[in-house]
Amino acid sequence: MLPDFNRLKVFYYIYDLNSVVAAANELHLSQPAVSQQLQKLEAELKVPLFTRLHKKLVPTAAGEQLFKLVEPFIAKLQDEITHIRQPLDRPAGLLRIGAPREFGKEYLPRFCHEFRCLYPDVMFKLKFKECIPLLTMIREGGLDYALVDVYFKQGELPSFPDIFSIDPVLKEEMVLVCSKDYYQKHIAGDHSYKNLLNKDYMTDEDDPSILTLWFKHHFQKTPENLHVVMTIDSHEALITGLKLGMGLGIATAHLVWEEIQRGEVIPIATAQSNMVNMISLVQLQDKIPTLTEKTFRDFMIAKMKQTEILKRFQCTDS
């Protein structure tokens, strides 16, 4: 059975301030009341927590051990309470947002900084991960919402029930590219399924599903065993590897636009239009957004439409 939490709080302040009198002043209690709570806690635990030496308290080994358990909890509680007590008339408190790695690193810190210039009481906790980990964090309450790469239709998110609200925000084109040198040696204008099937590939995801989706989109066929020579968790590093001539890979079009224009990387075009990745705002379906969440969402979308992103993405009407 757990000890009384009020007594644990009294113990924490006695230990932290090394004084019953100081703890009583901090807690706005009388000194006898604090001493009584400590005695009851020691009786409850059946172990002394302090040794009394001439009006001085020396923690016992049990007292040291108990403080190590209690201190992190109370410290975290004190910190989080400030986030819970949010004003109702303006954005404030902690906002927990997830995003795809490269999109998040490129744009979110800037948006957060500009938002805090308007609303300095808002703090941010950002997580940059792939689609499924972000959806898991939303489902388990670890994120307020996330910008997620969605290649699936509503209700088709793998391994998840239909519990999410998915609001399209931006469309970005995904292109299969390689270096000019690799293209001349191994592609040479032949963009057929048969020729591409046996080439070297790189991916910045844990599995090659994005490559499979590209083939399905362009050829209506699903390759079984692509030769993936490198898996890496950074889109920037992926683009570096592609420019070095390590093989073919799926890149976000706007992130390699300048390299394409300079002829450093060559896109593999087919009769089909480029594959589109929808960046969508995802949250729990029945969640009612707080003032802070709604204000930042509107601010972020407005900023996207005002900056260079508008030239590179197709903004939706949401």
Q: Is 235 exposed, middle or buried (0-12, 13-18, 19+ CB in 10 A)?
A: buried
Of 52, 84, 116, the last residue of a domain is 84
Of 44, 61, 84, the last residue of a domain is 84
Are residues 161 and 281 located together in one domain of the fold? Answer: yes
Are residues 227 and 285 located together in one domain of the fold? Answer: no
CB-based contacts of 302: which residues, under 8 Å, 6+ apart? Answer: none
Placement of tokens 């109370």 in the chain: 74
Backbone angles phi, psi at 279, to 5 degrees: -90, 115
Q: What is the CATH number of the domain that holds 38?
A: 1.10.10.10
* pLDDT recorded at residue 25: 94
Are residues 157 and 296 located together in one domain of the fold? Answer: yes
> Measured at the alpha carbon of residue 137, what is the angle toward residues 131 and 142, in degrees to the nearest 5?
145
Are residues 177 and 143 located together in one domain of the fold? Answer: no
The β-bridge partners of 56 are 53
Of 39, 57, 84, the last residue of a domain is 84
C-alpha to C-alpha distance for 73 and 307, rounded to whole angstroms: 43
* pLDDT recorded at residue 139: 87
Using only the alpha carbons of the chain, give its radius of gyration. Answer: 28
Helices 61-84, 5-17: axis angle to 10 degrees equals 110
Are residues 208 and 272 located together in one domain of the fold? Answer: yes
* pLDDT recorded at residue 155: 44
Are residues 136 and 264 located together in one domain of the fold? Answer: no
Are residues 187 and 220 located together in one domain of the fold? Answer: yes
Are residues 19 and 154 located together in one domain of the fold? Answer: no
Q: 179 near 267, Cβ under 8 Å? A: no
Q: How many domains does the chain have?
A: 3
Are residues 265 and 241 located together in one domain of the fold? Answer: yes
* pLDDT recorded at residue 100: 85
Are residues 176 and 265 located together in one domain of the fold? Answer: yes
User: CB count, 10 Å around CB of 311?
Assistant: 8
Q: 312 near 172, Cβ under 8 Å? A: yes
Are residues 14 and 149 located together in one domain of the fold? Answer: no
Are residues 16 and 30 located together in one domain of the fold? Answer: yes
Q: What is the CATH number of the domain that holds 188?
A: 3.40.190.10
- Taking only the tens of pLDDT, the chain with its 318 residues reads 788 889 999 999 999 999 999 999 999 999 999 999 999 999 999 999 999 887 788 999 999 999 999 998 888 887 677 666 666 778 988 899 999 887 788 889 999 999 999 999 999 999 998 888 898 899 888 999 999 876 544 444 444 557 888 888 877 788 999 999 999 999 999 999 999 999 999 998 766 778 988 999 999 998 988 999 999 878 888 999 999 999 999 998 888 888 999 999 999 999 998 888 778 889 988 888 889 999 999 998 888 777 545 445 454 554
* pLDDT recorded at residue 87: 66
Q: Which domain holds residue 295?
A: 93-170+277-315
* pLDDT recorded at residue 165: 85
Q: 134 near 150, Cβ under 8 Å? A: no
